[in-house]
């Protein structure tokens, strides 16, 4: 069974959040984990460590279902990536990269 590869697109909000992580000296470990997670999302969106699931309280710009992928687990304020499929079939759009409330 082959796994579909996805191109990652970032919303302006997600791009700003990623840039903030890249420039924060105290977030190097989080940045490394975010990059690893984005890599899994590109190559295997069903990777078990992502623990991807639908996030019901958020919709994409055009009403798309939004999903949550784990960056960290069992960590206070663990980081998450929120995303949806599209706009093209082989793309996913990152809506937000943030610490879990």
| 3-state class (DSSP) for residue 101 | coil
Determine, yes or no, domain membership for 1.
no
User: Averaged over 8-26, what is the pLDDT?
Assistant: 95
Q: What is the pLDDT of residues 66-99, one digit of tens each?
A: 999 999 987 878 999 999 999 999 999 999 999 9
- Output the domain CATH number for residue 44: 3.30.2310.20
Q: Is residue 2 assigned to a domain?
A: no
Helix axes 12-23, 28-43, angle to 10 degrees: 140
Structure tokens at 47: 């990777």
Domain of residue 69: give its range: 7-99
CA–centroid distance for 56 within its chain: 16
pLDDT of residue 61: 80
Higher pLDDT, 63 or 18: 18
* Separation between Cα atoms, residue 57 and residue 79, nearest integer Å: 17
What is the predicted pLDDT for the residue at 86? 92
Give pTM, 2 decimals: 0.90
Instruction: Evaluate if residue 8 carries a pLDDT over 90.
Output: yes
pLDDT for 21-59, tens place per residue? 999 999 999 999 999 999 999 999 889 999 998 998 888
Q: How many separate domains does the chain show?
A: 1
pLDDT at 1 over 60: no
**Alpha carbons within 13 A on the beta-carbon side of 23:** 6
Query: Which has more confidence, 99 or 1?
Result: 99
Domain contains 39: yes
- Whether 90 is in a domain gets the answer yes
């Amino acid at each position: 069974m082959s796994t579909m590869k996805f191109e990652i697109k970032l919303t302006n909000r997600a791009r700003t959040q990623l840039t903030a992580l890249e420039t924060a000296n105290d977030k190097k470990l989080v940045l490394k984990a975010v990059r690893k997670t984005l890599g899994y999302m590109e190559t295997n969106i069903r990777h078990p460590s992502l623990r991807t699931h639908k996030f019901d309280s958020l919709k994409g710009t055009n009403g798309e279902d939004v999903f949550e992928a784990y960056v960290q687990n069992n960590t206070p304020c663990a980081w998450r990536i929120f995303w949806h499929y599209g706009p093209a079939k082989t793309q996913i759009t990152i809506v937000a990269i943030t610490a879990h409330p």
